[in-house]
Structure 1
Amino acid sequence: MTNERATILANGPFVDDGRLRARIAEGGGPLIGVDGGAWRLYELGFTPRWVTGDYDSVTPAQRETLEAAGARFVETPDQYRVDLDKALAFAIDEAGARDIAVFGAGGGRLDHTVAALAAAVAHGQRASIQLIDAHGAARPVYGELTLTGSDLIGRVVSLIALGTVEDVWFDGVRWPLTGQSVGPYGRDATSNEIVSDTICVRAGAGDLLIYLHHGAPERSA
């Protein structure tokens, strides 16, 4: 089966700020609930097409209700992989998705957040993946990434390095990078400010994500 898009709700902290609903309304593809995220979808008024995970956050009564509503539980018991990693693999390999938005992926615990970022990097060359929270959206960078739009100016943007990333170039921001390393032994690249309607990130070896805040911060009078 092939679904160009898919929308995933994981079991991490989630704020119902309208972005998930907007994604669904605009044709976000089939819904995938990751473990307890499936019940959250149901409580929001949506039934996931599939439920993945080890189901340690789904009660028997909740599973019965979800299955009665039409949700299909996909057994993914591998305890050496985090639930989001398995959900992304399922969305790409089984559902055929190539545009995936993930909500509720992290933020409650540091280990969960890092694991979610790593999962996005691991699968991001096979599909466009965004991890969306209440503040912004993160996506992996491979080689070069360019974003354009008049609404970019003034927004906060960060580069997140999983380890040291070499030869990073970052244009269109207040504090550009010109070939430096980013990460534990290089430059910090968080909380930059966009000053152009086009930004471009180019990176050498290493795992890098860009985290773009949803809107420009309010300025004090």
Structure 2
Amino acid sequence: MKIVIVANGTLCQTDRLLSRIQQADMVIAADGGAVHLNHMGIVPRIIIGDLDSIPENILSMFKEKQVKILKHPARKDQTDMELCMEYAMTHGCTDLLIMGATSTRLDHTLANIFILRRLAAQGIPTTLIDAHNEIHIVVSHLTLTGCPGDLLSVIPISDHVQGLTLEGLEYPLTNQTLCMGSTMGISNVFTQDKAHISLKSGAVLVIKPKEES
């Protein structure tokens, strides 16, 4: 099941993002993400969170449309994003797309990125996208589509990453070992329409940035 989670962070509402939301089997709003969906004319299956970021008129409108509301207390041990992710995992998610999960709040942004590792460990392909980046965490392998000249960064986020192999890039690697803190994988470049990343152990953060025109 393809699931999209829309959070309350920065979200540029492009036709491409709208199309990907419309193709989902389930759309989940993480609290104020419901505001983004309202602006796009999309009704989520469920809204999850403490509801502190949704204007009352929008919440009432979605209630009238029979949207399920799962309210949590403000004082809780999990973020709204984590609650949404767990809901997706327990409702048959096989492919997850997260939008609106980055913002000027670096703490929330980092938490939302690193939460992807739990999904990667369970074999659920997950993509976090914003106006400037496509973000993945990889623990085994990943193939990304791009164009020659597109940038790609591969950053170790475990103490050691072993057996790292990069193909389809200007700076390929074969069975390389990297330590956390290494910048060797920053700003690699697509040479083909596909890039392949694989590793034997550890985890890497893979970011496909969009350069400013």
TM-score by length of 2: 0.86
Please say if 1:127 is aligned against 2:128: no
Q: Over aligned residue pairs, what C-alpha RMSD do you find?
A: 2.3
**Equivalent of 2:172 in 165, 168, 176:** 176
Distance 1:146 1:43 in 2: 33
Q: Report the 3-state secondary structure (helix = DSSP H, G, I; strand = E; otherwise coil) of the residue aligned with 2:18.
A: helix
Correspondence list, 1:20-59, <5 A: 20-25=17-22, 27-59=23-55
**Equivalent of 2:57 in 48, 61, 78:** 61
Equivalent residue number for residue 101 of structure 1: 97
Deviations 1:69-113 (A, max 9, x none): 22111134472222212111101203x121111111113222112
Q: Report the 3-state secondary structure (helix = DSSP H, G, I; strand = E; otherwise coil) of the residue aligned with 1:40.
A: helix
Deviating more after overlay: 152-161 vs 30-39: 152-161
Equivalent residue number for residue 159 of structure 2: 164
Cα contact 1:165–1:182 (8 A) shared by 2: yes
Correspondence list, 1:191-206, <5 A: 191-206=187-202
Q: Shift in Å at residue 217 of structure 1?
A: 7.4
Q: Report the 3-state secondary structure (helix = DSSP H, G, I; strand = E; otherwise coil) of the residue aligned with 1:108.
A: coil
Distance 1:55 1:76 in 2: 8
Distance 2:97 2:13 in 1: 15
Cα contact 1:154–1:217 (8 A) shared by 2: no
Unaligned runs of 5+ in 1: none
TM-score by length of 1: 0.83
Unaligned runs of 5+ in 2: none
Q: Report the 3-state secondary structure (helix = DSSP H, G, I; strand = E; otherwise coil) of the residue aligned with 1:152.
A: coil
Q: Shift in Å at residue 183 of structure 1?
A: 2.8
Deviating more after overlay: 186-195 vs 36-45: 186-195
Identity in percent: 27
| CA separation of 1:12 and 1:63: change in aligned 2, threshold 3 A | same
Letter in 2 for 1:130: T
Cα contact 1:54–1:76 (8 A) shared by 2: yes
| CA separation of 1:83 and 1:207: change in aligned 2, threshold 3 A | farther
| CA separation of 1:30 and 1:174: change in aligned 2, threshold 3 A | same
Letter in 2 for 1:156: L
Q: Shift in Å at residue 9 of structure 1?
A: 0.8
Letter in 2 for 1:79: K
| CA separation of 1:160 and 1:29: change in aligned 2, threshold 3 A | farther
| CA separation of 1:156 and 1:18: change in aligned 2, threshold 3 A | same
- State the number of aligned residues: 209
Cα contact 1:89–1:123 (8 A) shared by 2: no
Please say if 1:208 is aligned against 2:204: yes
Equivalent residue number for residue 81 of structure 2: 84
